[in-house]
Amino acid sequence: MQQKRPVVMVIMDGIGINNDDFGNAVKSAYMPTLEHLLGTCPNIQIQAHGTAVGLPSDDDMGNSEVGHNALGCGQIYAQGAKLVNESIASGRLFTSQTWQTIVTNCLEHNSTLHFIGLLSDGNVHSNIAHLKAMLIRAKEEGIKRARVHVLLDGRDVGATSALKYIEDIENLLSELNDGDFDGRIASGGGRMKITMDRYEANWEMVRLGWETHVLGIGRQFPNATEAIETYRTELGVIDQDLPAFVVAEDGKPIGTIEDYDSVILFNFRGDRAIELSRAFEEEHFDKFDRVRYPKVIFAGMLQYDGDLKIPRRYLVTPPDIQHTLSEHLIKYNLKQYAVSETQKFGHVTYFWNGNRIEKFDEVLEVFEEVPSDKVPFEERPWMKAAEITDKLIEALESGKYSFLRANFPNGDMVGHTGNFAAAKIAAETVDLCLARIVKAVDRTGAILIVTADHGNSEEMYEKKGADGSIKPKTSHTLNPVPFIIYDKKEKRELKDGKFGLANVAATITELLGLKKHEAWEESMLKS
């Protein structure tokens, strides 16, 4: 098949479709460009959550990582929680060499097994069920002492739901604790305050997490519940923004990480786990002063970066994603361009290319990162959308590229704040940029695809409770996302049926006049 005009893909991160007006920042926003495209162009709604992106069930919200995996590889791979669920259910996790090494280390040195991770059942970064299964197994295998370092969610689950998960773990530990086993929560803090930075945007978060979990430095409380309740009273912030705390007795922290301990980072998603993994594993580490570097056996739930081998030890093997769209286009010698700001740069590169840091081809792939601002997203909801647009248009008008993709993080990153007014501005910002891109597409004769990786800003409030109260919703959604084709030169039609993000790759190749890879899901274009 003969190559056709360039294809430009805009990913409106976190902008889904919701017909309900309640809490819908997208529907409330002034978005004439998107409305025009939906009213005049071939478009359908596609699935961006649950089984359509490799998650265990359709009750599992999508996320940017699995979303970009599916977009970039045209296939549905078992992902994150599903992989871990299967590994625990089969027993493979506990027969793995890594688990055995962790346990043996604790038994030989009479040392502590530490668990660090996001404490919720959001199924985006982690699941509390995985932690519970490992705690139970640890006691069965003779571990004497376990400490849990909790990162509070309020983002992938209810904004103020932390105490529910704290109570769940405390109840389990109470059941397990006896003369042979001592398990306790040792430290914690909100996920957007400590530990879980990504893309090296704010190493200070990781430093604070290290001080909290490893060194036991921080404000002390007798237990996690009192810490959370105190901070809520004093500060009035939601879970993700709660400051760090250390559980202590008689002024001494109960769970510092020492030489010969074992440590498991039980998050399965990679982006917010890589930096802490580096702090534990790199002997010559220069991102912050660790004060001391304990000699521990460290493992992640998965390997978060397969190219850089981070971490060296992991409990569950990640999916081996093959036959990506990028690889396929390179076979045809087609040049590709990817751009976003720091917050989502890894999504249009690393996750898009099947969890691969390195390019498949240094010449045929061009990646451009716009540095993100280091301010709260609700204070600057336009983020770097204008700069991303500048670079995308420049690349398109250069005539060098056959396929160009851009991610606008606004709908997701601002949506996570729970600030409705800011999320509305974020959506309007994306629309303004989309208008500029449409004009550039017209000038160059390109084809434009507009879609999203999952929903978020279209559902900013939790449903009203019995008392009529309204709570901010900071998590992703179960809503579908739009898929739009804008082509002024050729009439396009889309098939009827149920499609998901994995169908996009084949659709792109067909628009480029190429055959799809045989392993991919089908194209959504009518032949």
Catalytic residues: 64
| H helix runs in 245-292, sequence order | 274-281
d(CA 418, CA 174): 34
Query: What φ, ψ does residue 525 adopt, rounded to 5°?
Result: -80, 140
d(CA 429, CA 426): 5
d(CA 411, CA 36): 19
Pairing of strands 262-265, 113-118: parallel
348, 10 contact by CB (below 8 A): no
d(CA 11, CA 333): 24
| CA-derived radius of gyration, the chain | 23
Pairing of strands 447-451, 403-408: unpaired
Instruction: Examine residue 409 and say whether the peptide bond preceding it is cis (omega within 30 degrees of 0).
Output: no
HEC states along 167-185? HHHHHHHHHHCECCEEEEE
Closest among 179, 161, 309 to 242, alpha carbons compared? 161
Query: What φ, ψ does residue 263 adopt, rounded to 5°?
Result: -135, 130
Q: Which two tokens mark 463?
A: 């449903």
Query: What φ, ψ does residue 220 adopt, rounded to 5°?
Result: -100, 145
Burial class (CB in 10 A: 0-12, 13-18, 19+), 57: exposed
d(CA 503, CA 499): 6
For tokens 């502590």, name the residue. 112
333, 360 contact by CB (below 8 A): no
- Which residues partner with 408 through β-bridges? 12
d(CA 418, CA 23): 10
Closest among 283, 319, 318 to 298, alpha carbons compared? 283
d(CA 335, CA 329): 8
d(CA 246, CA 52): 40
Q: What single-letter DSSP state applies at residue 472? A: B
Query: What φ, ψ does residue 148 adopt, rounded to 5°?
Result: -115, 130
CB atoms under 10 Å from CB of 286, counted, come to: 6
Rounded to the nearest angstrom, the gap between the alpha carbon of residue 42 and the centroid of all alpha carbons in its chain is 30
